[in-house]
Amino acid sequence: MKIGKKLIISMLALTLGALLIVELGLFAVTSDLKKTTEDLYNDLKTDAEQTIEEGLYAMDSDSLGVIADMQTEVTDSRLTIVSDAVKQSAEFAERIYASPASYRNTGFSPVHLSEAPQTLSARYMYSAGVEETAALREELKLIANMEEIFAPVMKYNSRFFDNLYVGTASGIFYQYTDNNVFLQNYVVTQRHWYKSSVASPDRVMWKETEIDSYGRPCITASMAVKDPAGNVVAVVAADVNFEQMMSNVIGSGLGKTGATFLLGAKKDLVAYSNFMDDVKEHGGMYNAFEDHFADAETVREKIDACASGGGDAFHAEFDGREIYMTARVIPCTKWLLCTAINAEEITQPIGEVKAQSDRTFAGTQTEMAREFTKLIVGTLFSVAVIAAAAVVVAYFISRTISKPIIRLTDTVKNIGEGDFETKSDIVSRDEIGELAGVFNKMQDALKLYTENLQAVTAEKERIGAELSVAAHIQEDMLPRIFPPFPQKKEIAIFASMAPAKEVGGDFYDFFLIDDDRLALVIADVSGKGVPAALFMVIAKTLIKNRAMQGGTPSEILADVNNQLCEGNDADMFVTCWLGICELSTGVITAANAGHEFPAICGPDRRFDLLKDRHGFVLAGMEGARYRDYEIRMERGGSLFVYTDGVPEATDASAEMFGADRMLEALNRSPAQAPEKFIREVGSAAIAFTGDAPQFDDMTMVGITWYGKDGAPAAENEG
């Protein structure tokens, strides 16, 4: 064989051998690249899932805290209303026993329970074994006067009560309810609510959930009634409207599975979402803590830590499912309110991320396999061509193929080590260049998808938490019992608030500073949504707390303004009108922090705007000063204050209701009780706006001062 042939054969053999080695190396690099890619994807997916899960739990912990705080405020307000009603009823009963001659012929006729229609009204019965005597009939006539306080309480607060009742030591059971079931064996003095109040006669006693004599779940508040000698002669009690409690508090929470439940003093469950189903299934109360919580002792410790402010939201097993929960103390009863959401709902977005990532990676793998196939076919074709070429050409081609793959592998390894921003710098028109481009696109897609999903999930949960809670705040925070101070005959008060579709920040309040001074507040917080509702709670609480410490309205507003300015990074503000009425003289000392002008009905029996001097809004500027002024009320004179939602109510043509129409509505009944002229304004505004959507909350407060003799008899009858 000629040397030339040997050289050719040697070159061919060397070239083929070299190409074979290159092919084997290429296969190894490709396999390593595929494995590295799969490992990188799995690591990225695991890290993303962990990061998203931690973020979701942190976000839901904050949301649960906000909801728990608001629901605690709402629940405490509801229970406080019940507690105050019971206390006021007990005080009224003590006045009856202290001055029976004043109540003996007031016209209230007792109706026996068996003869009463099934409507909301007063009725009585005697305890089993009690014989009716003349003395008992006389006492019953006195007890029938309780209808004077039971009726208005039930009329204006029926959503908080199932019924109101009083039981006497002599065996009379007098109730205000729509239930006319006659219980033959009922002994009032043996009831738990009666005995607990006799044992602790100086405070309102709370009985946790039990099944009452009518077979209904019941939460009871009671208070003892004492005669002038200090002996307990009766007990007044009220049953909380359990259905409303379940609907407005227990049934609301975060997300689709969020729920709330109440724990009593011993941490037994007072109320929870499946309460009645469990009662029916188990044939009685099924509210023991251990019946619902796994590892009950540990959960108790975590609940106590949360409620005392020393712990964050935590995981627990409730009725066989994992939940994420937090807890707060209800001031009125010292019970615990717990808000929870199923852990499965919190982590649901992670499954969606995983599914989307898997789809993205599967598509990438398919495209990679296609590119790998093209690469191998192209390489084999090159082998056939390069076999006739020189060793140098074969070596060059081998380097051209293998070097970019090695660089791409190094780039992928760098990404796997945490350098998420590293991109492949390979720029070529062959399959390796396309493969590098696919990796860069996959990296950008994974990064962008993870960031977008986190942002969208956080925003969705935040909005859901705000909208599910804020709708209940204003209604349950404001005073709703009218008349609020039945013992104060000098003055009549009425208020109303018609909220807009979105939650706003209007609020009003009235409370006794002492026996002769009544504080009146009306305010409007800037903005809407949960931030405005929270700022409303803070402002309302600060104003009341500062007013109870004494001082003039200007001093009170100045101190509250400085407190609200601290840490007010959201730049929210409050317009407020504050007045303190001296009940004995009808003199109102007031100050205005950027609020609407009040309307006064004077001796001419016409309402006119009092254009008082405004101070700066609260929380707008630290150190702001306010000026006091006096309003001297004539007997039968009235005061009307309101928020800007009344004159700015807008009809379909964008025309405002205005102050002139408001005054015209007020002057249709200027000498009437506050409830009448407030309803006149509300009806006029609604008739004016027609079908146009309500622009803002419409809040109104009215008072009429009658002096020490109280309202004229004709007006009381009207």
- In 627-712, which residue ranges form alpha helices assigned H by DSSP? 658-666, 674-689
* 112 and 210 share one domain: yes
**Residue 158 in 3-state DSSP?**
coil
304: tokens are 């106590």
**Residue 178 in 3-state DSSP?**
coil
In a domain, 65, yes or no: yes
- Yes or no: say if 385 and 13 are a contact pair by the CB < 8 Å rule: no
Give pLDDT, residue 684. Answer: 95
- The residue-averaged pLDDT of 175-182 equals 81
* 323 and 361 share one domain: no
* 352 and 331 share one domain: no
Task: Write out the DSSP string of 251-267.
Answer: T--STTT-EEEEE-TTS
* Residue pLDDT, tens place only, 357-368: 677 767 777 777
* 338 and 352 share one domain: no
pTM to 2 decimal places: 0.44
> Measured on CA atoms in the order 356, 359, 362, 367, is the torsion positive or negative?
negative
Distance, CA of 244 to CA of 600 (rounded, Å): 39
- Yes or no: say if 225 and 191 are a contact pair by the CB < 8 Å rule: no
In a domain, 142, yes or no: yes
Closest by Cα among 577, 713, 595, 682 to 644? 595
Phi-psi category of residue 295: left, alpha or beta, with phi > 0 → left and psi -120 to 50 → alpha: left
Q: What are the phi and psi torsion angles at 76 (to 5°)?
A: -65, -40
Helical axes 658-666 vs 674-689, angle rounded to 10°: 140
Closest by Cα among 460, 458, 453, 425 to 439? 425
Lowest mean pLDDT among 181-190, 350-359, 477-486, 528-537: 350-359
203: tokens are 């405070």
Distance, CA of 205 to CA of 349 (rounded, Å): 46
Distance, CA of 76 to CA of 82 (rounded, Å): 10
Distance, CA of 545 to CA of 515 (rounded, Å): 17
In a domain, 330, yes or no: yes
- Yes or no: say if 486 and 149 are a contact pair by the CB < 8 Å rule: yes
Say how many C-beta atoms besides its own lie within 10 A of residue 241's C-beta: 21
Burial readout 536-567 (b: 16 or more C-beta within 10 A, e: otherwise):
bbbbbebbbebbeeeebbbbbbbbbbebbbee
**695: enclosing H helix or E strand:** none
* 231 and 295 share one domain: no
Tell me the pLDDT band of 717, cut-offs 50, 70 and 90. Answer: very low
Report the mean per-residue pLDDT for the chain.
82
Would you say residue 216 has pLDDT above 60?
yes
Tell me the pLDDT band of 284, cut-offs 50, 70 and 90. Answer: low
- Yes or no: say if 30 and 433 are a contact pair by the CB < 8 Å rule: no
Closest by Cα among 334, 125, 110, 112 to 213? 125
Distance, CA of 166 to CA of 173 (rounded, Å): 6
Tell me the pLDDT band of 425, cut-offs 50, 70 and 90. Answer: confident
Residues 6+ apart with CB under 8 A from 485: 491, 493, 512, 518
- Yes or no: say if 635 and 705 are a contact pair by the CB < 8 Å rule: yes
Give pLDDT, residue 340. Answer: 86
* 353 and 342 share one domain: no
Q: What percentage of the chain carries pLDDT values higher than 90?
A: 39
Q: How many helices (H) and strands (E) does the chain have?
A: 18, 21
In a domain, 133, yes or no: yes
Domain end residue (candidates: 346, 364, 383): 346
- The number of residues making up the chain comes to 718
Task: Write out the DSSP string of 657-669.
Answer: -HHHHHHHHHTTS
Q: In what order do the strands lie in the sheet with 232-240?
A: 121-126, 172-177, 161-168, 232-240, 217-226, 205-211
In a domain, 3, yes or no: no
* 117 and 176 share one domain: yes
* 142 and 33 share one domain: no
Q: Which domain covers residue 117, as residue numbers?
A: 99-244
* 440 and 526 share one domain: no
Tell me the pLDDT band of 351, cut-offs 50, 70 and 90. Answer: low
β partners of residue 703: 493, 639
Amino acid at 451: E
* 702 and 557 share one domain: yes
Tell me the pLDDT band of 490, cut-offs 50, 70 and 90. Answer: very high
* Residue pLDDT, tens place only, 462-486: 655 565 555 565 677 789 889 999 9
Residue 685 CA to chain centroid, in angstroms? 30
Place of tokens 């006067």: 145
Q: What is the CATH number of the domain that holds 342?
A: 3.30.450.20
In a domain, 291, yes or no: yes
Domain end residue (candidates: 195, 211, 244): 244
Domain end residue (candidates: 313, 346, 379): 346
In a domain, 156, yes or no: yes
Give pLDDT, residue 342. Answer: 84
In a domain, 212, yes or no: yes
**Count of the separate structural domains present in the chain:** 4
* 239 and 270 share one domain: no
Closest by Cα among 188, 193, 121 to 158? 121
* 588 and 679 share one domain: yes
